[in-house]
Amino acid sequence: MTMNLDFKKAVAAQIPEIWIILKQAIARRKADGSQQWQDGYPNPEVILNDINKAAGYILLDGEIIIGYTAILINDEPEYENIQGKWLSDSDFVVFHRVAIAQEYLGKRIAKILMQEIEKFAAVHSIKSIKADTSFDNQAMIAIFEKLHYVYCGEVYFRGSPRRAYEKILKA
């Protein structure tokens, strides 16, 4: 199956399609026994906020949205309160809300999406990518490990501890 992939900023008209993908991911987290995303977050308002901040990005296969993430630069206040230590103190790209369409699971789409995040960082001359995930999100932890992210400690969101990761990109 040949895919015609394109990575670009999301627009508000795409929220219904993006929300379907996020709802599928929320259901998968629950089925996996994870507490991540089981508290009403994320939701369509969060997606709209991402788009309004020019942070919402989609991965397309032709015209079909197959993945979503939010990408920001130096914009995660909770990361200042890490229990542990980041690899760097320089500018960083942070991403949140990685979600892949159900019918595209097992096709390495999450890896492709994360490679696009690395390209985004490179275009902005930023060498550090930081992210976090729930302690019980084994799928995301496995992706971080496979892509050589380093576990740096814990951060807290909405009262819950999260595993914090950083990857330093090669020059």
Q: pLDDT at position 35, please? A: 87
Q: What is the average per-residue pLDDT within 55-62?
A: 97
Nearest CA-CA partner of 18 in 103, 94, 100: 100
DSSP classification of residue 55: -
Residue spans of alpha helices (H) in the chain? 15-31, 44-52, 109-123, 138-146
pTM for the structure as a whole: 0.94
Q: What own/partner pairs with CB < 8 Å and gap ≥ 24 does 161-164 have?
A: 161/135, 162/132, 162/133, 162/134, 162/135, 163/132, 163/133, 163/134, 163/135, 164/79, 164/82, 164/84, 164/86, 164/130, 164/131, 164/132
Does residue 103 carry a pLDDT above 80? yes
Does residue 158 carry a pLDDT above 90? no
Q: What is the average per-residue pLDDT within 21-28?
A: 96
pLDDT band for 157, please (50, 70, 90 cuts): confident
pLDDT band for 1, please (50, 70, 90 cuts): low
Instruction: Tell me the Cα Rg of the chain.
Output: 15
Q: What own/partner pairs with CB < 8 Å and gap ≥ 24 does 104-108 have?
A: 104/61, 104/66, 104/67, 107/1, 107/3
pLDDT band for 113, please (50, 70, 90 cuts): very high
